[in-house]
């Protein structure tokens, strides 16, 4: 951890704690004379992963002794701003935000920091851009993209086909993570694309990460290139699902390599059934638990440890970035099952 990031976080904690003490217990041992209230504003609950995040976050906050208010914006910036406004007027002591759009949500930081006393903001999984957001927690998202791209490069080498023809589907342009996944994929694919080992037939963004948009892209590729497609580099399991639906209409399921991310239950089932080739396991319960601990620490004058930094266009945001693991049918038991995300029987249904 850099000294700078420790100092930034400690000084933030102290200034927030001073504010809390002023309206709380008056500066005694307890920072607040009541239970701390933590607000969580989610972009969406559409993908199963966000339900895991929500439940784990709530459970950890409550175990620590805090109350939690949770809102979800259904992929709508205006609704998310309204949700944040509601949480702030409802008196949350800390605000945790998984942004629909990280640029738009700079406004949430501004609103939170202008409360009296200022309310600290934690960017959860998605960075809030160009703003003095207090802390960011996520995974190393460029590395996630590299893991997906590297998987493609290895699949191309194993196939013996040259060029190995792929379709690339990115996530939502409004999501900074989607840009980071693409960046990591670009880095991993570049040598194979430059050497002609891999050819990108078509690439496009999936608005709001919707599976139906992924299906449209896959349909367009199938219309243009027929069955001459070796792989679909989908950026998450939801969009992989849309791509697989398009492939199934052409009788191509299992014949085309499809990537993903999130290790959703349906995706793990698809791994063992053979319709999806890989996913990325992100330890969501740990991320959510850590976010809850950090949020709670802000209310308790405790130092917050954020060992990494990520630049958000304004400054190097103190950050916690967790590791991710590539999952295929061969290690699903040693990863997702071992970590109690799902039971073996839920994944191996036959
Ligand atoms: C997250 C992914 C998720 C996607 C769609 C991204 O920001 O990192 O895990 O699949 O959003 O919700």
Nearest atom within ligand 1 for CA of residue 125: 8
Does the pLDDT value for residue 31 go beyond 80?
A: no
pLDDT confidence tier of residue 296, bands split at 50, 70 and 90: very high
**What's the confidence (pLDDT) of residue 9?**
53
Ligand 1 centroid, distance to 220 Cα (angstroms):
24
Which two structure tokens, joined as six digits, stand for 68? 């939690």
- Mean pLDDT over the full length of the chain: 92
pLDDT confidence tier of residue 94, bands split at 50, 70 and 90: very high
**What's the confidence (pLDDT) of residue 178?**
98
**What's the confidence (pLDDT) of residue 302?**
87
Average pLDDT over residues 132-145: 98
Does the pLDDT value for residue 136 go beyond 90?
A: yes
100 pocket-lining for ligand 1 (C-beta < 6 Å): no
Pocket test for ligand 1, best of 101, 180, 209, 283 (most atoms within 8 A of CB): 209
**What's the confidence (pLDDT) of residue 244?**
98
Average pLDDT over residues 16-29: 37
Sign for the CA dihedral angle at 173, 176, 181, 187 comes to positive
Higher-confidence residue: 77 or 20? 77
Place of tokens 């996944």: 181
Average pLDDT over residues 288-300: 96
60 pocket-lining for ligand 1 (C-beta < 6 Å): no
Of the given ranges (20-24, 117-121, 139-143, 323-327), which has the lowest mean pLDDT? 20-24
Pocket test for ligand 1, best of 53, 171, 205 (most atoms within 8 A of CB): 171
264 pocket-lining for ligand 1 (C-beta < 6 Å): no
Q: pLDDT tens-digit profile of 52-84?
A: 999 999 999 999 999 999 999 999 999 999 999
Q: Which domains does the chain have, with CATH numbers?
A: 3-133+284-322 (3.40.50.2300), 141-282+326-347 (3.40.50.2300)
Percentage of residues in the chain with pLDDT exceeding 90? Answer: 89
**What's the confidence (pLDDT) of residue 32?**
81
Of the given ranges (21-35, 171-185, 309-323), which has the lowest mean pLDDT? 21-35
Nearest to 88 by CA among 17, 131, 39: 39
**What's the confidence (pLDDT) of residue 303?**
84
Ligand 1 centroid, distance to 15 Cα (angstroms):
32
134 pocket-lining for ligand 1 (C-beta < 6 Å): no
Does the pLDDT value for residue 26 go beyond 80?
A: no
Which residues have a Cβ under 8 Å from the Cβ of 63 and sit 6 or more positions away? Answer: none
H-helix segments, 114-232: 141-159, 176-195, 211-225
Distance in angstroms (rounded) separating the CA atoms of residues 240 and 179: 17
Sign for the CA dihedral angle at 331, 333, 334, 337 comes to positive
262 pocket-lining for ligand 1 (C-beta < 6 Å): yes
Does the pLDDT value for residue 97 go beyond 80?
A: yes
Nearest atom within ligand 1 for CA of residue 282: 9
What letter does residue 174 receive in the DSSP assignment? Answer: T
Q: pLDDT tens-digit profile of 241-275?
A: 999 999 999 999 999 999 999 999 999 999 999 99
Classify 333 in phi/psi space as left (phi over 0), alpha (psi -120 to 50) or beta: alpha
Of the given ranges (143-157, 188-202, 289-303), which has the lowest mean pLDDT? 289-303
Which two structure tokens, joined as six digits, stand for 239? 């969009």
Does a cis peptide bond (omega within 30 degrees of 0) precede residue 346?
no
Distance in angstroms (rounded) separating the CA atoms of residues 171 and 345: 31
Average pLDDT over residues 181-205: 98
Pocket test for ligand 1, best of 49, 169, 212, 282 (most atoms within 8 A of CB): 49
């Amino acid at each position: 951890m850099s000294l700078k990031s420790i100092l930034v976080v400690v000084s933030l904690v102290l200034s927030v704690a001073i504010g809390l003490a002023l309206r709380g217990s008056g500066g005694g041992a307890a920072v607040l004379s009541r239970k701390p209230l933590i607000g969580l504003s989610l972009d969406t609950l559409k993908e199963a992963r966000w339900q895991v995040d929500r439940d784990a976050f709530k459970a950890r906050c409550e175990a620590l002794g805090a109350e939690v208010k949770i809102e979800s914006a259904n992929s709508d910036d205006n609704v998310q701003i309204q949700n944040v406004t509601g949480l702030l007027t409802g008196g949350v002591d800390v605000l945790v935000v998984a942004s629909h759009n990280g640029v738009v949500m700079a406004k949430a930081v501004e609103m939170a920091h202008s409360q009296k006393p200022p309310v600290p903001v934690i960017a959860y999984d998605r960075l809030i851009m160009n703003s003095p957001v207090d802390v960011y927690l996520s995974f190393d998202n460029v590395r996630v993209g590299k893991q997906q791209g590297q998987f493609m490069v290895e699949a191309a080498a194993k196939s013996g086909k040259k060029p190995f023809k792929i379709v690339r589907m990115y996530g939502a342009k409004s999501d900074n993570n989607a840009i980071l996944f693409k960046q990591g994929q670009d880095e991993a694919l570049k040598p194979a694309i430059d050497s002609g080992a891999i050819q990108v037939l078509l690439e496009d963004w999936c608005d709001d990460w919707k599976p139906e948009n992924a299906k449209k892209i896959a349909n367009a590729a199938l219309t243009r290139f027929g069955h001459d497609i070796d792989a679909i580099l989908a950026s998450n399991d939801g969009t992989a699902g849309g791509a697989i639906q398009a492939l199934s209409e052409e009788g191509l399921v299992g014949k085309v390599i499809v990537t993903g991310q999130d290790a959703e239950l349906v995706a793990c089932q698809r791994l063992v059934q053979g319709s999806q080739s890989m996913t990325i396991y992100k330890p969501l319960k740990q991320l959510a638990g850590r976010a809850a601990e950090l949020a709670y620490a802000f209310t308790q004058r405790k130092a917050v440890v954020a060992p990494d930094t990520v630049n958000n266009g304004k400054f190097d945001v103190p950050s916690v970035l967790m590791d991710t693991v590539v999952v295929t049918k061969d290690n699903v038991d040693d990863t997702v099952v071992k970590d109690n995300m799902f039971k073996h029987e839920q994944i191996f249904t036959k």
